[in-house]
């Protein structure tokens, strides 16, 4: 019997994901400068897409001019591994 995936977060391209990556990764709060580095690098969605432990699912919303959106669900079979991978990614961005 296979393990049911864990829902990590969900959200949309326009509104972002309903997660705080710093808290998710068990990192200490960032300085404003480090926060800017992480946010300027990419969106939270892209950060998850770069993690091999994350399963990212996207669904296109209705095609309404100026209101179209893509909705995301992020799941994993290895929550501890995903947290570790995301932590390493964020630290590497800050240390660049």
| Beta strand extents in the chain (DSSP E only) | 6-12, 16-17, 55-60, 70-76
- The count of structural domains within the chain is 1
Is there a domain that residue 20 lies in?
A: yes
Buried b (16+ CB within 10 A) or exposed e, 43-56: ebbebbeebebbbb
Instruction: Report the share of the chain in percent with pLDDT over 70.
Output: 98
Higher confidence at residue 29 or residue 76? 76
**pLDDT of 19 higher than 70:** yes
Q: Which domain holds residue 86?
A: 6-95
Q: pLDDT by residue (tens digit) across 34-61?
A: 888 888 888 899 999 999 999 999 998 8
Span 69-90, mean pLDDT?
A: 95
Is there a domain that residue 37 lies in?
A: yes
Is there a domain that residue 40 lies in?
A: yes
* Predicted model pTM: 0.85
Is there a domain that residue 1 lies in?
A: no
């Amino acid at each position: 019997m296979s393990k049911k995936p864990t829902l990590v977060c969900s959200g949309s391209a326009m509104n972002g994901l309903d997660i705080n990556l710093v808290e998710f990764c068990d990192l200490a709060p960032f300085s404003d400068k480090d926060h800017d580095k992480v946010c300027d690098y990419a969106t939270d969605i892209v950060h998850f897409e770069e993690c091999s432990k994350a399963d990212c699912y996207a669904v296109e919303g209705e095609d309404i001019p100026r209101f179209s959106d893509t909705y995301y669900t992020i799941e994993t079979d290895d929550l501890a591994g995903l947290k570790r991978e995301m932590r390493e990614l964020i630290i590497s961005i800050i240390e660049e």
